[in-house]
């Protein structure tokens, strides 16, 4: 009993397939892959080298090949498409929706992009792709496809169904039919369900739903995702600044937007500089990780300089060095907590934004409670548990910790807000940069406190 009914992808099959490729056993490849969902074949090909993958794809129908290529990961696809001529790539693109075709074209080097485009024979498709290439990738225009079904508000249901019959050939998922006027202004929608249940002679005008949510081409991808999520939509029509219907965004593209932005946030929080995966090469992985490690290291060197200023104090009382990790770690932890709460807030923007002042007052409240609790605990522990019961040092550690909590809360709150103002992804603030800054801030506070307050 299989929990999921899908293509059986086993190590054994992979071995046999490998053998078939080596022996040019075309019959085996075609037979075993016949009727298999292209997305499952993609999973197989991700395991092969580009040459073998090309060999397999060449044995399949162009349409199946197109779907496979479209569902490959971008990195794999980039390498893979180099194995095909521009003409062959163009043949694949003809089978894809205009938005997927435009995305793939955008991944190609400039010259290959032009040549490939010129090889697209279907003029309507070429025109659609050309239009989509104009839009920013991260805007509604960049997300939309030109494949959708529209009906004139003056048609009758019968005519509309005939038109759908004609148009539907190119549209895999219909969702709704968009209703426009003679000048292509978006007026509303009508569902297939309603068309199916309506009298043939009814006019569309009488039965369509004029309460339609749409976006203009320049709306940002994340905002589009928020709208689709808020209204539980499966597709969203896109209009130009004149209100004319120009495209449609489907929910599957929005899932990709959401997943990608979550991945990006994870990377920023973890201090990884580019989009990498575990199976990338050593070199790519190192390149993604080293920059942030070096920044952290430079922070560490600055830390050494700060502590260096107080070398004399340490030589008199080595115990002050004991609390360096405590101060640093607390500042880092508090900062990440604060910024991640703000990042979440910014991602799910409420209609009525709190003022920055109110936000900070609240942060201050939480920080005071946390700071007092941590300060009291650390005073108790460091006074009682440490070998020498140094009342002064315990007090200074506690007060420093309190101040670090307050300050790290502020920097953790302010930084993502500022980044967001400048249209920079605020998640950077939850990454190692702020942690490092809070580390240094903490060291400065702590050692200054010791230096000026401890009765050496």
Residues in 364-403 at the binding interface with a second copy, rule: CB under 8 A: 365-366, 369-370, 373-374, 377-378, 381-382, 385-387, 401
Comparison of 26 and 341: residue with beta carbon closer to a second copy: 341
Stretch that binds a second copy, among 26-34, 49-57, 124-132, 286-294 (CB under 8 A): 286-294
| Token reading at 264 | 């990006």
Residue from 63, 131, 296, 448 binding a second copy (CB under 8 A): 296
The C-alpha atoms of residue 185 and residue 206 are separated, in whole angstroms, by 17
Q: Count residues near a second copy (CB under 8 A).
A: 139
Residue from 204, 254, 407, 441 binding a second copy (CB under 8 A): 254
What burial letters (b/e) apply to 102-114, b meaning 16+ CB within 10 Å? bbbbeebeeebbe
Comparison of 118 and 381: residue with beta carbon closer to a second copy: 381
Angstrom CA distances, 16 to 23, 48, 55, 137, stand at 10, 13, 15, 40
230 binds a second copy (CB under 8 A): yes
15 binds a second copy (CB under 8 A): no
The C-alpha atoms of residue 311 and residue 317 are separated, in whole angstroms, by 10
| Token reading at 131 | 């239009």
Stretch that binds a second copy, among 19-27, 76-84, 118-126, 344-352 (CB under 8 A): 344-352
Could you tell me the smallest distance in angstroms from the CB atom of residue 128 to a second copy? 20
Would you say the C-alpha torsion 206, 212, 216, 221 has a positive or negative sign? negative
Please state whether beta strands 215-216 and 186-191 pair in parallel, antiparallel, or not at all (unpaired). unpaired
204-223 residues in contact with a second copy (CB under 8 A) are 211-216, 218-219, 223
- Cβ atoms within 10 A of the Cβ of 218, count? 14
Residue from 66, 145, 307, 398 binding a second copy (CB under 8 A): 307
Residue from 29, 129, 249, 326 binding a second copy (CB under 8 A): 326
406 binds a second copy (CB under 8 A): no
What burial letters (b/e) apply to 35-44, b meaning 16+ CB within 10 Å? ebebeebbeb
- Residue 119: name the closest of 93, 99, 97 by CA: 93
- Cβ atoms within 10 A of the Cβ of 285, count? 16
Comparison of 30 and 287: residue with beta carbon closer to a second copy: 287
Comparison of 91 and 217: residue with beta carbon closer to a second copy: 217
Residue from 417, 436, 437, 450 binding a second copy (CB under 8 A): 436
32-91 residues in contact with a second copy (CB under 8 A) are 35, 37, 39, 43-44, 46-47, 71
In this structure, what is the dihedral angle of CA atoms 362, 367, 372, 377, given to the nearest 10 degrees?
A: 140
Give, for 85, the enclosing helix (H) or strand (E): none
Give, for 245, the enclosing helix (H) or strand (E): strand 245-250
| Token reading at 163 | 């038109």
Stretch that binds a second copy, among 50-58, 115-123, 320-328, 415-423 (CB under 8 A): 320-328
User: Residues 103-142 vs a second copy: string with x where CB under 8 A?
Assistant: ----------------------------------------
256-285 residues in contact with a second copy (CB under 8 A) are 258-259, 262-263, 265-267, 269-272, 276-279, 282, 285
């Amino acid at each position: 009993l299989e929990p999921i009914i899908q293509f059986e992808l086993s190590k054994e099959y992979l071995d046999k397939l490998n053998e078939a490729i080596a022996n040019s056993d075309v019959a085996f490849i075609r037979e075993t892959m016949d009727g298999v969902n292209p997305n499952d074949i993609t999973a197989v090909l991700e395991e092969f080298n580009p040459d073998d993958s090309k060999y397999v794809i060449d044995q399949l129908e162009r349409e199946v090949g197109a779907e496979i290529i479209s569902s490959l990961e971008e990195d794999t696809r980039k390498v893979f498409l180099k194995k095909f001529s521009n003409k062959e790539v163009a043949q694949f693109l003809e089978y894809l929706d205009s938005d997927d075709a435009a995305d793939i074209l955008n991944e190609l080097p400039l010259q290959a992009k032009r040549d490939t485009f010129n090889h697209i024979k279907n003029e309507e498709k070429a025109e659609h792709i050309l239009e989509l290439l104009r839009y920013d990738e991260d805007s509604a225009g960049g997300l939309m496809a030109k494949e959708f079904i529209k009906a004139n508000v003056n048609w009758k249901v019968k005519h509309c169904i005939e038109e759908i019959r004609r148009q539907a050939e190119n549209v895999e998922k219909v969702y709704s039919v968009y209703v426009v006027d003679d000048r292509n202004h978006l007026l509303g929608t009508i569902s297939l369900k309603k068309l199916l249940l309506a009298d043939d002679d009814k006019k569309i005008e009488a039965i369509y739903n004029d309460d339609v949510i749409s976006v203009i081409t320049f709306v940002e991808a994340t905002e589009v995702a928020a709208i689709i999520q808020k209204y539980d939509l499966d597709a969203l029509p896109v209009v130009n600044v004149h209100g004319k219907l120009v495209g449609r965004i489907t929910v599957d593209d929005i899932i990709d937007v959401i997943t990608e932005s979550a991945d990006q946030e994870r990377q920023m929080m973890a201090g990884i500089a580019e989009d990498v995966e575990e199976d990338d090469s050593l070199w790519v992985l190192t390149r993604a990780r080293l920059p942030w490690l070096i920044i952290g290291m430079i922070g560490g060197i600055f830390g050494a300089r700060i502590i260096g200023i107080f070398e004399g104090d340490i030589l008199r009382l080595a115990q002050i060095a004991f609390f360096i990790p405590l101060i640093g770690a607390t500042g880092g932890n508090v900062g990440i907590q604060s910024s991640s709460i703000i990042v979440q807030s910014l991602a799910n923007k409420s209609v009525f934004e709190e003022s920055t002042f109110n936000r900070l007052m609240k942060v201050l409240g939480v920080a005071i409670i946390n700071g007092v609790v941590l300060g009291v605990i650390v005073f108790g522990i460091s006074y009682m548990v440490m070998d020498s019961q140094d009342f002064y040092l315990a007090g200074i550690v506690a007060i420093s910790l309190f101040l670090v909590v307050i300050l790290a809360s502020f920097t953790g709150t302010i930084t993502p807000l500022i980044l967001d103002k400048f249209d920079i992804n605020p998640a950077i603030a939850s990454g190692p940069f702020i942690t490092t800054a809070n580390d240094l801030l903490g060291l400065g506070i702590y050692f200054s406190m010791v230096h000026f307050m401890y009765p050496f």
